[in-house]
């Protein structure tokens, strides 16, 4: 940073010479002075005063710290061992500002916008100091646009973004982030960028959301030069009292991640367990887990209550992917065959809600939208019905969501690709269509980008993608061996061997057919309640399900998803691929409330919604979430408590 006038070096030098010329005179020594004086008489004869500092307004450097009450506010100096955490955020104007000391986290001074990519200041403005970042852990240093500034743990608010962030925002090499302090709105402006290399944790940058810089940068890490400048205050939108209270609750939860995770998981598990407190009867995975513990691939006891395949030597095969049985296997080993599968479904369902909350936080979603989307997933979607009932078909979907969320956790951090691949393989071993979402994970680990150009992965990205695929291969090979042991083919799960299944009216074209797409379109968009005249409460659920239009209307806000987000592009591609076998399947998911097959893509859809509502949640979107919660609550109660349901 430098002042515009500093470029005129000749003029400044000439002015200085003119000042000095009037004071020049010939210097000479008086050799006889003091020769007749004693040392005591000479002591103190000459007084040399300390030179006083002279203020040089144009050449004075801007440094961190505050020298006086009206001095410049500078960045907090780095102190070893500071416990720096991510700043909890909320809507601008709705977040209480908590600044513990007179030093703020950003430098504030007079300046005008600088030319992008140029070190020159505007002609009428003064240069200011860039704000360095002080952090203990780069993974905890994210900052969101319009996030409130706090100084309790000495965080320094300096956004450092990758080139692809800027181009995804549609304005090359320029990014603005709004911060708030006591009196000013501070505007961050990226003024330059030079790529040297990339950190292994740069998935956030190219994926469409900014990351803050690092405390200790390794060699070859690229960065951006960020200046802070004063901007006129921006009036904050008015918020109702109840919205402010909810936002305050969400902010407090975000500030205590472990407590929030445990609270959400426990609340969700209790809700799902009490949805249907009776023991689940349609459970195929508890008997299968018991069979695994006894070294068998088949169930010895009859299972007339559920679909099965007769075994030639006696017993029955379960024609579903086996991962849900592996999940309940520890419980069956401890509690025996009497273990209630519904308990496992409720526990995993609660964990799903807590993990989604965590992932939305990783994506820097504001506190209120983060809480609202978690609520929409937990009780405003078919996840409530599935986790609450816990039957074999529904528990498989809940289990698939669990492993997919864990895989996304690692993929978003670009950590442990081998483990992430194994987790996605476990999700596919619960619900096969989930495996088709693999391109999103590959893109995250490989560091692929689409804007402004299709960037090929570097060697580290190729290695990470290869490890991810190797991880997927492990459960895939185990499932293939499981199928070979049962039916002699790695690809045969036994669906077509279920007695009389091909005689069902919905499988007249086979298990999969393009002819089934219209019925899924009807189930997804148009299927409603049955209106029953004269019978309260009149709107009767149907076992064929309920369209997402009514059960989870917030999904339709995905039309506002920005198409220039890399995560949005690969996430949308993953959803489309997973939907191919779903909408071509003969069965639309009955018996169900809602559309249970949507669980296969729910983790990605809700993260995409996090991109849509990253800064704020519109009133219409909030009403859509509340409508989904009310509709799902009504459906669950009508079916489980009143038995008000029909085909």
What pLDDT, on the 0 to 100 scale, is given for residue 278?
87
Tell me what the mean pLDDT of segment 419-423 comes to: 97
Nearest Cα residue to 284 out of 392, 398, 170: 392
* pLDDT (tens digit per residue) in 155-188: 444 444 443 344 333 333 333 333 333 333 333 3
pLDDT greater than 50 at residue 326 = yes
Closest residue by Cα to residue 611 from 258, 349, 370, 265: 370
Strand duo 185-194 + 176-180: pairing: antiparallel
* pLDDT tens by residue, 516-563: 999 999 999 999 999 988 888 899 999 999 999 999 999 999 999 987
All residues at 6 or more sequence positions from 297 whose CB lies less than 8 Å from its CB, including other chains: 291, 317, 482, 485, 486
Q: Does the structure show a pLDDT above 60 at 95?
A: no
Give pLDDT tens digits for 251-292: 888 888 899 999 999 999 999 999 988 888 888 999 999 999
Q: Quickly state the pLDDT bin for 294 (edges 50, 70, 90).
A: very high
Alpha-helix runs per DSSP H in 2-71: 9-21, 39-42
Q: What is the largest CA-CA distance in the chain?
A: 131
List phi, psi (to 5°) of 346: -65, -45
Give pLDDT tens digits for 39-75. Answer: 555 555 555 555 555 554 454 455 554 444 444 444 4
Which pLDDT band holds residue 93 (cuts at 50, 70, 90)?
very low
Q: Which of 233-247, 304-318, 334-348, 494-508 has the lowest mean pLDDT?
A: 233-247
Residue 331 confidence (pLDDT): 96
Task: Calculate ∠ Cα 263-266-270, nearest 5°.
Answer: 140
Nearest to 444 by CA among 424, 470, 417: 417
| pLDDT, average across residues 408-424 | 95
Q: Which residue has better confidence, 59 or 367?
A: 367
pLDDT band at 499 (very low <50, low <70, confident <90, very high): confident
Chain segment 554-590, per-residue pLDDT in tens: 999 999 998 777 788 999 999 999 999 999 999 998 8
Contact by Cβ (8 Å): 157, 164: no
Do 404 and 438 contact (CB within 8 A), yes or no?
A: no
The more confidently predicted of residues 105 and 172 is: 105
Per-residue model confidence (pLDDT) at position 635: 94
Return the higher-pLDDT residue of 455 and 502. Answer: 502
- The confidence score (pLDDT) of residue 301 equals 85
Q: Report the share of the chain in percent with pLDDT over 70.
A: 62
Give the single-character DSSP code of 60: P
CA angle 393, 397, 403 (to 5 degrees): 140
Euclidean distance between the first and the last CA atom of the chain, given in angstroms as a whole number: 72
| Distance of alpha carbon 482 from alpha carbon 462, whole angstroms | 30
63-67's contacts with Cβ under 8 Å and 24+ in sequence apart are 63/129, 64/107, 64/129, 64/132, 65/103, 66/102, 66/103
Q: What average pLDDT is seen over the chain?
A: 74
φ, ψ for residue 512 (rounded to 5)? -120, 135
Higher pLDDT, 360 or 151: 360
- Note the pLDDT of residue 369: 93
pLDDT of residue 165: 40
pLDDT tens for 209-225 read 433 333 333 333 333 33
pLDDT at 501: 84
**Span 383-399, pLDDT tens digits:** 999 999 999 999 999 99
């Amino acid at each position: 940073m430098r002042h515009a006038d500093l470029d005129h070096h000749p003029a400044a030098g000439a002015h200085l010479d003119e000042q000095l010329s009037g004071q020049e005179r010939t210097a000479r020594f008086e050799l006889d002075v003091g020769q007749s004086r004693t040392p005591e008489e000479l002591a103190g004869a000459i007084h040399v005063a300390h030179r006083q500092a002279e203020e040089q307004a144009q050449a004075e450097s801007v440094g961190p710290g505050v020298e006086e009450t009206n001095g410049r506010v500078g960045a907090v100096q780095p102190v070893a061992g500071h416990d720096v955490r991510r700043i909890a955020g909320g809507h601008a104007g709705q977040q209480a500002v908590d600044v513990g000391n007179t030093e703020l986290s950003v430098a504030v001074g007079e300046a005008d916008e600088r030319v992008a990519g140029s070190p020159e200041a505007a002609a009428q403005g003064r240069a200011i100091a860039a704000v360095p970042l002080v952090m203990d852990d780069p993974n905890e240093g994210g900052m969101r646009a319009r996030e409130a500034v706090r100084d309790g743990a000495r965080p320094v608010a300096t956004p450092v973004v990758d080139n692809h962030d800027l181009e995804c925002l549609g304005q090359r090499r320029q990014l603005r982030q709004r911060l708030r302090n006591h009196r000013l709105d501070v505007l961050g402006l990226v003024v330059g960028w030079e790529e040297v290399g990339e950190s292994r944790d740069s998935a956030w940058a190219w994926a469409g959301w900014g990351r803050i810089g690092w405390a200790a940068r390794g060699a070859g890490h690229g960065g951006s030069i960020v200046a802070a400048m004063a901007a006129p205050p921006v009036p904050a939108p008015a918020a109702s009292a109840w919205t402010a209270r909810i936002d305050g609750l969400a902010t407090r939860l975000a500030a205590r991640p472990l407590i929030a995770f445990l609270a959400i998981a426990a609340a969700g598990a209790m809700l799902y367990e009490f949805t249907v407190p009776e023991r689940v009867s349609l459970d195929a995975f508890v008997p299968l887990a018991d069979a695994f513990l006894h070294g068998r691939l088949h169930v010895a006891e009859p299972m007339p209550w559920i679909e099965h395949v007769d075994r030639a030597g006696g017993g029955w095969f379960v024609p579903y992917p086996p991962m849900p049985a592996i999940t309940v296997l520890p419980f069956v080993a401890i509690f025996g065959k009497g273990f209630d599968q519904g308990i496992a479904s409720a526990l995993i369902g609660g964990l799903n809600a807590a993990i989604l909350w965590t992932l939305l936080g990783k994506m820097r979603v504001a506190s209120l939208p983060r809480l609202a989307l978690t609520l929409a997933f937990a009780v405003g979607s078919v996840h409530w019905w599935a986790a609450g009932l816990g039957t074999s078909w529904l528990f498989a979907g809940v289990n698939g969501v669990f492993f997919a969320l864990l895989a996304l956790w690692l993929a978003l951090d670009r950590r442990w690709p081998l483990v992430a691949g194994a987790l996605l393989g476990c999700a596919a071993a619960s619900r096969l269509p989930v495996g088709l979402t693999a391109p999103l994970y590959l893109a995250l680990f490989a560091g692929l980008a689409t804007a402004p150009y299709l960037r090929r992965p570097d060697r580290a990205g190729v290695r990470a993608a290869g490890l991810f695929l190797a991880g997927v291969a492990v459960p895939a090979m185990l499932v293939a061996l499981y199928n070979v042991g049962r039916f002699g083919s790695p690809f045969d799960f036994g669906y077509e061997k279920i007695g009389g299944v091909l005689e069902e009216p919905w499988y007249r074209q086979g298990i999969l057919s393009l002819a089934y797409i219209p019925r899924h379109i009807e189930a997804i968009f148009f299927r409603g309640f049955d209106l029953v005249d004269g019978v309260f409460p009149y709107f009767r659920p149907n076992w064929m399900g309920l369209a997402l239009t009514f059960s989870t209307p917030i999904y339709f806000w995905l039309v506002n998803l920005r198409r220039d987000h890399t995560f949005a592009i690969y996430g949308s591609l993953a959803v489309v691929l997973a939907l191919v076998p779903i909408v071509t399947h003969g069965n639309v998911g009955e018996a169900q409330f809602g559309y249970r097959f949507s669980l296969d893509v729910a983790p990605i859809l809700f993260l995409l919604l996090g991109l849509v509502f990253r800064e704020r949640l519109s009133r219409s979107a909030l009403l859509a979430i509340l409508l989904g919660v009310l509709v799902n609550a009504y459906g669950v109660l009508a079916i489980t408590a009143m038995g008000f349901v029909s085909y």
